[in-house]
Amino acid sequence: MKLHKIVLTETANECLLNIAEFITLDSPVRAETFIEEIIASLTGTLSVFPLAKV
């Protein structure tokens, strides 16, 4: 099975940063782990199924 390289756009990175900043207001530690989980899920899914609408 071919794995595709996933590159997040500048816009996507900015959105993730905004999400993290919002979550940080409540829980700085959770903000970091949540963003890591989102990136892992996106890259894991899209590297195998690049046309998936996630």
4: which DSSP letter? Answer: P
Tell me the average pLDDT across 21-34.
96
CA 34 to chain centre: 9
The pLDDT-based confidence of 53 (bands split at 50, 70, 90) is confident
Closest residue by Cα to residue 21 from 10, 9, 30: 30
The pLDDT-based confidence of 10 (bands split at 50, 70, 90) is very high
Q: For the whole model, what pTM was predicted?
A: 0.79
